[in-house]
Amino acid sequence: MIGGTDISYPSQADDSSLELCVRAIRQFWPGMIIEDDETNKRYDEFWQISFGDMKEIFVYQDEETADRWDDAGASPELEDTMIHIIRGQGEVFLVVDNPDCSPMKEILQTIKTGLSQDVFAVSAELVAA
**Model confidence pLDDT, tens digit, residues 12-36:** 777 889 999 999 999 999 999 999 9
One-letter amino acid at 10 equals P
**Cα–Cα distance measured from residue 48 to residue 81, given in angstroms and rounded to the nearest whole number:** 22
**Cα–Cα distance measured from residue 60 to residue 69, given in angstroms and rounded to the nearest whole number:** 9
| Residue 30 placed within a domain | yes
Which domain range does residue 83 map to?
5-120
Q: Closest Cα partner for 92 from 83, 105, 100, 104?
A: 83
The predicted model scores a pTM of: 0.87
Burial classification of residue 43, based on how many CB atoms lie within 10 Å of its CB (0-12 exposed, 13-18 middle, 19 or more buried): middle
- Adjacent-strand bridge partners of 93: 8, 86
Q: What is the pLDDT of residue 21?
A: 94
Q: What is the pLDDT of residue 120?
A: 58
Q: What is the pLDDT of residue 116?
A: 86
Ramachandran area for residue 80 (φ above 0: left; ψ -120 to 50: alpha; else beta): left
Q: What is the pLDDT of residue 117?
A: 80
| Residue 128 placed within a domain | no
| Residue 83 placed within a domain | yes
| Residue 125 placed within a domain | no
| Residue 126 placed within a domain | no
CB atoms within 10 A of CB 41: 12
Average pLDDT for consecutive 10-residue bins of the chain (129 residues)? 80 86 95 95 88 92 95 89 94 94 94 80 58
| Residue 127 placed within a domain | no
Count how many domains the chain has.
1
Q: What is the pLDDT of residue 125?
A: 62
